[in-house]
Amino acid sequence: MTSSASVSYVALSGGVGGAKLALGLCDVLEDPGRLTVVANTGDDFEHLGLKVCPDIDTLTYTLAGLANSETGWGRAGESGAFMEALGALGGETWFFLGDKDLAMHVERSRRLRAGESLSAVTSELRARFGVRAHIVPMSDDPVPTIVETEEGPLAFQHYFVRERCRPRVLGFRHEGAAQARPSAGFLDALAAPDLGAVIICPSNPYISIDPILAVPGVRAALTACEAPVVAISPIIGGQAVKGPTAKMMAERGVAPSAAAIAEHYAGLIDGFVLDEADRDAAAVIAATGVVVEVTATMMTARADKQALARAVLAFAERIGAAG
Amino acid sequence: MTSSASVSYVALSGGVGGAKLALGLCDVLEDPGRLTVVANTGDDFEHLGLKVCPDIDTLTYTLAGLANSETGWGRAGESGAFMEALGALGGETWFFLGDKDLAMHVERSRRLRAGESLSAVTSELRARFGVRAHIVPMSDDPVPTIVETEEGPLAFQHYFVRERCRPRVLGFRHEGAAQARPSAGFLDALAAPDLGAVIICPSNPYISIDPILAVPGVRAALTACEAPVVAISPIIGGQAVKGPTAKMMAERGVAPSAAAIAEHYAGLIDGFVLDEADRDAAAVIAATGVVVEVTATMMTARADKQALARAVLAFAERIGAAG
């Protein structure tokens, strides 16, 4: 056991990559109930009249052991009878919702309309799935990510799924961020006196982590918190493990590298974890005052996720003890 | 061919029994596009945040050849992955919504929220299913049936599905009827100069037909219309073919019989069709001034539906010619 059960942790996460590390953390923590995973909700959207929260869902399914590891989204052993019937009715089918997955969206939408907060619904549903870690939305207020592209602004899922990240990205807007407040669960977890670390998962910085940081008060809370803030690079050897991170960086004029990720989080992080493939960048990052850890960060097997989780927890403990 | 393609027809219908006759009518009419089936929407309800219209759905699926003939509701070859997943999430599962069927409710709900009328959505969806007959809701305004029972008032589906028609019925209330208007499609069909007949399908008079008649203006329009109004008895030999019609009649102190059905429609109908099993009642009904037709009304096979449809059309034509 890497760390004491009396220490609590906060992880900021997007979808697939973040969920993998969150699963590793749940596996290696003595009490996964001490982990609060803060989900990006910038991807959330209203679709077919239903509230869909892709990152909350990926986290929930992954931590419940129900995720479809091949697609990276949705549930394993999923069927598509609904979608096929919807297509026959002329409905929108560009965003696949499996028959089982649909239960999540219908039940969530029903509860939200009945006046429950996204935090309450998310907590209740992850508990139903037997997930012990807390999953909290970054905010109960909507903060939809708008992707500014050469073809004009696009709602996130229109860019991401419908257009398959094809249009060249000019920037991102976090609509409604100015009026949003961090969720109570997020703030409470950051304020916990036994907080051991804030872990920025290896998620896309622009579309998974920045939306969380865009909520007023979050940056200040992270800066104020005594526990070390540690980020793990989603870029390995100049490539994104999954998704458009590298493409987006290049389009924004940033050479995709672990060092560029560390720079993106400059002023916010105390520690940075990068892959052995990027060992050369360690010195440059360390020169900025950030403590650097080099380890294997590719999470393919369950054991990889656990090993990275252990490495991150030990690293954070080391920084905490030093600071 | 029983009737000329230049004649149009209106059928008032609930679910299963009415849909069977509507299917027979579609089969025997030269142009099913001349038939307007007016669906009871008193059964409609909001469930899981979705607008569910059981009679519209049964009519649509039946006329599209997709109905589940064993259950009498839903689609044939249906799967239940959504419902099972919803149950695991603690959602309400007393009203079964199959995976394919769900597409209807999701797409309808989405369109209604976007501001389309129930008439427009219903018309578009039945066209998507290749149904040539028009299916129109009795009203675009909600007129939910409330069942007054010994255990208190119950929303219709709570009485019908959740309680399986168990509580003793004291009466019915058509909530919002006073403020409702008949749908434009319904009124237009009744006002068609070539209207050949209004057919009251063998549906439950209390919960399928009375809600339609409760919409202000409908009784007057039926009385004013020159075409004969013809009802078919849903009671055969003192028994309801399906559903709680006989039970409800008994609970309301009415002996379940074809004659009682005819009396229920007194003042409204010009003709009444009853089964050979109830031949004895013909004279009593005829004595009230209603023209009576005795024929086989049990619709098991497709040929039964077509035969009854032919008999009804010929009967209406005879009354029309005489009147």
- In a mutational test of the B interface, the residue from A61, A89, A126, A129 whose CB has the highest number of chain B CBs within 10 Å is A89
Query: How far A85 CA sits from the closest chain B CA (Å)?
Result: 5
Confidence of residue B1 (pLDDT cuts 50, 70, 90): very low
R_g (Cα) of chain B, nearest Å = 19
pLDDT in tens, B212-236: 999 999 999 999 999 999 999 999 9
Nearest CB to A110: which of B49, B128, B129? B49
Closest CA to B105 of A50, A74, A277, A9: A50
Residue B240 confidence (pLDDT) above 90 = no
Q: Which two tokens stand for residue B130?
A: 């290749």
Interchain CB distance below 8 Å, B113 and A48: no
Q: How far apart are CA B87 and CA A307, in angstroms?
A: 36
Interchain CB distance below 8 Å, A125 and B89: yes
CB atoms < 10 A from the CB of B314, how many? 14
Give the type of residue at B173: R
Q: CA of B103: which chain A residue's CA is closest?
A: A86
- Say what percent of chain B tops pLDDT 70: 98
Query: How far B16 CA sits from the closest chain A CA (Å)?
Result: 22
Residue keyed to tokens 């590793």: A24
A89 touches chain B (CB under 8 A): yes
Query: How far A122 CA sits from the closest chain B CA (Å)?
Result: 11
Q: How far apart are CA B203 and CA B235, in angstroms?
A: 9
Q: Which two tokens stand for residue B171?
A: 């009466």
Q: How far apart are CA A92 and CA A109, in angstroms?
A: 18
Q: Is B239 helix (H, G, I), strand (E, B) or coil?
A: strand
- Helix, strand, coil shares of chain A, percent, nearest 5, are 45, 20, 35
Query: How far B114 CA sits from the closest chain A CA (Å)?
Result: 9
Interchain CB distance below 8 Å, A101 and B85: yes
Q: Which two tokens stand for residue B77?
A: 């070859």
> Within the 106-125 window of chain A, which residues sit less than 8 Å (CB to CB) from chain B?
106-107, 109-110, 113, 124-125
Contacts of A90 in chain B (CB under 8 A): 107, 124, 128
Residue keyed to tokens 């609509």: A175
CB atoms < 10 A from the CB of B269, how many? 22
Residue B108 confidence (pLDDT) above 50 = yes
Report pLDDT for B243.
85
Interchain CB distance below 8 Å, B99 and A88: no
Query: CA geometry: angle at A44 spanning A39 and A46, to 5°?
Result: 155
Q: Which two tokens stand for residue A128?
A: 């139903």
Contacts of B99 in chain A (CB under 8 A): 79, 81-82, 85, 99, 102
The two beta strands, B35-39 and B134-137, are: parallel
Contacts of A120 in chain B (CB under 8 A): none
The pLDDT tens digits along chain A (323 residues) read 444 558 999 999 999 999 999 999 999 999 999 999 999 999 999 999 999 999 999 999 999 999 998 887 899 999 999 999 999 999 999 999 999 999 999 999 999 999 999 999 999 999 999 999 999 999 999 999 999 999 999 999 999 998 999 999 999 999 999 999 999 999 999 999 999 999 999 999 999 999 999 999 999 999 999 999 999 999 999 988 888 899 999 999 999 999 999 999 999 999 999 999 999 999 999 999 999 999 999 999 999 999 999 999 999 999 988 87
Inter-chain Cβ pairs, chain A and chain B, closer than 8 A: 99
Confidence of residue B5 (pLDDT cuts 50, 70, 90): low
Query: Would you give the distance in Å from CA A14 to the centre of its chain?
Result: 2
Nearest CB to B102: which of A90, A102, A113? A102
Interchain CB distance below 8 Å, B79 and A99: yes
Q: How far apart are CA B129 and CA A62, in angstroms?
A: 38
Q: Is B75 helix (H, G, I), strand (E, B) or coil?
A: strand
Buried b (16+ CB within 10 A) or exposed e, A174-199: bbebeebebbebbeebbebeebbbbb
> What DSSP character marks residue A137?
E
Write down the pTM of the prediction: 0.90
Report pLDDT for B181.
98
Q: Is B2 helix (H, G, I), strand (E, B) or coil?
A: coil
Q: Which residues pair with A11 in a beta bridge?
A: A37, A199
Report pLDDT for A1.
40
CA distances from B120 to A140, A201, B115, B185, B217 (A): 35, 48, 10, 10, 21
Q: How far apart are CA A134 and CA A34, in angstroms?
A: 8
Buried b (16+ CB within 10 A) or exposed e, B288-297: eebbbbbbeb
Q: Which two tokens stand for residue B294?
A: 């005795």
- Say what percent of chain B tops pLDDT 90: 91
Angle, to 10 degrees, between the axis of helix B99-113 and the axis of helix B118-128?
A: 140
Residue B245 confidence (pLDDT) above 80 = yes
Contacts of B86 in chain A (CB under 8 A): 103, 106-107
Interchain CB distance below 8 Å, A82 and B100: yes
> Within the 125-144 window of chain B, which residues sit less than 8 Å (CB to CB) from chain A?
125, 128-129
Sheet holding B152-155, edge to edge: B152-155, B145-149, B169-174
Nearest CB to A113: which of B49, B81, B98? B49
Contacts of A82 in chain B (CB under 8 A): 82, 99-100, 102-103, 106
CB atoms < 10 A from the CB of A69, how many? 10
Sheet holding B291-295, edge to edge: B134-137, B35-39, B8-13, B195-200, B229-232, B271-275, B291-295
Mean pLDDT, chain B, integer = 95
pLDDT in tens, B31-68: 999 999 999 999 999 999 999 999 999 999 999 999 99
pLDDT in tens, B119-145: 999 999 999 999 999 999 999 999 999
A280 touches chain B (CB under 8 A): no
Interchain CB distance below 8 Å, B110 and A90: no
A48 touches chain B (CB under 8 A): yes
Q: For chain B, where are the E strands, in sequence order?
A: 8-13, 35-39, 45-47, 50-52, 134-137, 145-149, 152-155, 169-174, 195-200, 229-232, 235-236, 239-240, 271-275, 291-295
